[in-house]
Amino acid sequence: MYTAMKEMTAEKGYPIIALCDIAHVAKSAYYKWLGHLKRKHEFENEAIAAKIEDIHMGHPEKGHRQVRDDLSRDHEIDVSDKRILHLMRILGIQSTIKFKSQGCTKSASSPEHVAENILDRNFYAGLPNEKWLTDVTEFKYVLNNETRKLYLSAILDLCDRRIVSFVIRDHNDNKIVFDTFDSAVSANPEAHPLFHSDRGFHSIPTEYSIGSLRTLG
């Protein structure tokens, strides 16, 4: 009952005095419960923070999501990403590895051809194989104290967000993109989608197509 009152006050703005009258409880009893709840939450945060520090000491490369996974798997502590991130910020803890928020493709310095942007940010597709998007994303990981890289090239169908094809390699070059494209076409020989990339330096050329696939660079 107290939990419901607290949520109604926070979400709907109902006054506690009125809710106490409706529930036939003393206002002092509610605030006593609320104070106990806050103290319990603080104790939990202190215990979680100690575990976070232990994990960070052993694995400084881990971010808040990996720390959350370790807490759940090794310590049976199931809390949200947001709470872990909040505690890590209070502790001044952050991963020693920084991940790029965008793909690792770079704009070509002297492109021979820049395809027209037919998609023009219209990301709606009513049918499968109507519009495909592609990009290459870089991932970093630590092995034997050495930072290494992996590259994921993927093609996504805008209709249902399925991954049409993907390739993972330790080198970022044209071949990873061409192989991803070939795999998608082989698996969907009857497809004729609009094919959009980010116009990076290893995007598929406009004339590279099988059937009537069109690429936008």
Same domain? 72 vs 139? no
The reply to whether 70 falls in a domain is yes
DSSP-derived 3-state class of residue 57: helix
25 and 84 both lie in a single domain: yes
Tokens read off for 102? 């965008």
Q: Please give the Cα distance from 139 to 208 (Å, whole number).
A: 27
The answer to whether residues 6 and 86 belong to one domain is: yes
As for how many domains the chain has, the answer is 2
Q: From CA 45, how far away is CA 53, in angstroms rounded?
A: 12
Separation of alpha carbons 217 and 210, rounded Å: 16
Cα(114)–Cα(122) distance, integer angstroms: 19
209 and 146 assigned to the same domain? yes
pLDDT at site 164: 94
> Does a structural domain hold residue 97?
no
Any domain includes 115: no
**Does position 152 have pLDDT exceeding 90, yes or no?**
yes
Same domain? For 86 and 135 the reply is: no
Question: What are the structure tokens assigned to 76, written together?
Answer: 């049976």
How many Cβ atoms from other residues are within 10 Å of residue 198's Cβ?
Answer: 16
* 123 found inside a domain: no
Give residue-wise pLDDT tens across range 8-34: 888 878 888 888 888 888 888 888 877
Q: Which of 39, 63, 91 is the last residue of a domain?
A: 91
Instruction: Give the tens place of pLDDT for each residue, 64-97.
Output: 888 999 998 888 899 898 889 988 988 888 776 5
Residue 116 counted as domain residue: no
203 and 143 share a domain? Answer: yes
Q: Which of 60, 91, 122 is the last residue of a domain?
A: 91
Q: List Cβ neighbours of 104 (8 Å cut-off, separation of 6 or more).
A: 136, 137, 138, 151, 172
DSSP-derived secondary structure for 113-131:
------STT----SSTTSE
Residue 70 sits in which domain range? Answer: 2-91
The answer to whether the CB of 179 falls within 8 A of the CB of 173 is: no
